[in-house]
Structure 1
Amino acid sequence: MTGYADLGDKVIEARNVDVVREGRLLLAGISVTIRAGEHWALIGPNGAGKSTLLSVLGAYRHPTRGQVDILGQRLGRTDVFQLRRSIGRVNPQHPLRSALTAREVVLTGATGTIDLMPRWTPHPDEVDRADHLLHLLGLSGSAEAQWHLLSHGERGRVLIARAVLARPGLLLLDEPATGLDLRAREQLLTSLDRIRDAAPEATSVLVTHHLEELPTTTTHALLLREGRVVSCGPVEEVLTTELMSDCFDHPVAILRNEGRWAAVAAPEPATPHFLTR
């Protein structure tokens, strides 16, 4: 099932999705269609339901109500363990404990495991692709470096290479720039743009609550607030001053320069002259 979908194909279709946990409504009435070649951002304040929605889209959580089709498979009617093999995930909290090299971490993407599988030998094509991805992401010189010696930024790029090694039908990124300094963040975002440019048919969903963490290749956005959709669609139509202010319940001004986004505090209205006397 692994492999990119044809451009325009539906990769995800969620309809009227609710998620309830311990009597609390975490997601309410979520509907979204994501097609091959699109790169979505899930944006919202803390507690909005972004990670919950990402876990549904990654087949790690079933909706309480509603329907979700992922890569043509309906949750509740398919083997989720098999489905997950077609989904690449980038988790900054990668729980690796072994002394693997950067190349070996990337190669675990072929088996979908955290560690190298015993008695498993990667195919030469897989090794070649791992090295190609490390080169693409500017990490050729770190291929033999131990994981625990890599910087946080280098680890983030290694995890992107790991997630795309098997050419997954869907790539999910849960706040991949968390904890990175400016240089490391920009290197990571450049890496994402390079991966997307190299595979135009690839599809991804990235969770963030900082617009500065959006790659230039972002095509669509979904704004969440208290588990409900504020707006959903092409990024230019969604990331507006009005909608972002509504989503975060705070007045902000949205700026865009050379494909990158930023949010700044909206200027306060001027105090009437007669009140300053």
Structure 2
Amino acid sequence: MTGETAEHTVDGRDTAVVLLQDVSVRRFTTDQVILDGIDWSVRAGEHWALLGANGAGKTTLLRLLGALMHPTTGSVEVLGARLGRVDVRELRARIGHVSSAQRVPENLGAHAVVLTGHTGTVQPLWRMYDDEVRQRAHELLAEMGIKELADRPYGVCSGGQRARVLIARALMADPALLLLDEPFNALDLPSREDLIEALHQLAEGRPRLATVTVTHHLEELSPVVGHALLLREGRILARGPVAEVLTDYRLTACFGRPITVARREGRWAAWSGRSGNARPETT
């Protein structure tokens, strides 16, 4: 295992945004181990990629970070609050969570969708939005590069536009932690690149914001992603700086087939061939 150890500082010094210590999750009905012995910390301003094969435990780990479930054993602290000793409803309001599976009324305009992030509701609660809140929603749309979509119904927005609307919605709470659950799902190449650029600019404009991105594809990682965690069968295979974790050897071990990795100008690519060193054909 590489890299980061779970450290926790006090007395006003920098505190881990996320701190997991010996965390395990079991499914009570079958006693299946979903996560086992997870130690991990995420600090302010760090950007992590969370990778692993289907069934590795990524979704469960993200649910712990989002205060959507509790561990079976071990301790989970998010934004300085320990699960089991805090009102999780209040804690969730301070965490930004983006998923393509989120329920959003198709007829709502993008500005209205962003407003719902202020109240944490699916439908707008119009009486709760004063002029300042409404202006903030417009500013967040502009920050994500989609201010012209304010009145466009969410249902007719493209996949990439929807992803940026949902990120703007998540930012309404001014979170210290932003969880991105496969935000690039089903995006075409231009939409993917637009979203990567938007996330890059978001990170540069918010130096204290920490992010965790679940993805299956290294090509989706922004150059600002500086750390990665690999999960295999519920256990951490590797964690730490991307240059140490995203290697041929470790990704091959993580996914169970030969994988070759390349990095160019901060962007990643990965592929698999019969011999493990086959490269894509070029013309």
Residue in 2 that maps onto 1:205: 212
Q: What SS does the aligned partner of 1:10 have?
A: coil
Residue in 2 that maps onto 1:28: 36
Q: Which moved more, 1:147-156 or 1:127-136?
A: 127-136
Superposition map of 1:161-200 within 5 A: 161-200=168-207
Contact 2:55 2:233 in 1 (8 A): yes
Among 117, 128, 132, the alignment partner of 2:139 is: 132
Matched, 1:12 2:18: yes
TM-aligned CA deviation for residue 197 of structure 1: 0.9
TM-aligned CA deviation for residue 269 of structure 1: 7.9
Matched, 1:229 2:229: no
Q: What SS does the aligned partner of 1:120 have?
A: helix
Matched, 1:160 2:157: no
Distance in 1 between residues matched to 2:57 and 2:13, nearest whole Å: 28
Distance in 1 between residues matched to 2:81 and 2:128, nearest whole Å: 30
Amino acid aligned to 2:153? Q
List structure 1 runs of 4+ shifted beyond 3 angstroms.
none
Q: What SS does the aligned partner of 1:54 have?
A: helix
Q: Which moved more, 1:213-222 or 1:135-144?
A: 135-144
TM-aligned CA deviation for residue 267 of structure 1: 6.7
Distance in 1 between residues matched to 2:63 and 2:251, nearest whole Å: 23
Matched, 1:70 2:78: yes
Superposition map of 1:75-154 within 5 A: 75-97=83-105, 99-117=107-125, 119-154=126-161
TM-aligned CA deviation for residue 7 of structure 1: 9.0
CA distances 1:221-276 after superposition (whole Å, capped 9, x unpaired): 10001101000111111111111111011111110011111101257289xxxxxx
Residue in 2 that maps onto 1:44: 52
Distance in 2 between residues matched to 1:269 and 1:162, nearest whole Å: 41
Distance in 1 between residues matched to 2:13 and 2:150, nearest whole Å: 32
Distance in 2 between residues matched to 1:154 and 1:34, nearest whole Å: 28
Give the % identical residues: 47
Q: TM-score when scaled to structure 2? A: 0.89
CA distances 1:22-43 after superposition (whole Å, capped 9, x unpaired): 2110001011011000011110
Distance in 2 between residues matched to 1:12 and 1:64, nearest whole Å: 17
Contact 1:7 1:36 in 2 (8 A): no
Q: What SS does the aligned partner of 1:171 have?
A: strand
Amino acid aligned to 1:64? T
Distance in 1 between residues matched to 2:235 and 2:264, nearest whole Å: 29
Distance in 2 between residues matched to 1:269 and 1:13, nearest whole Å: 36
Q: What SS does the aligned partner of 1:40 have?
A: strand
Amino acid aligned to 2:242? V
CA distances 1:86-132 after superposition (whole Å, capped 9, x unpaired): 00100111212362110111111111111102x52423232222222
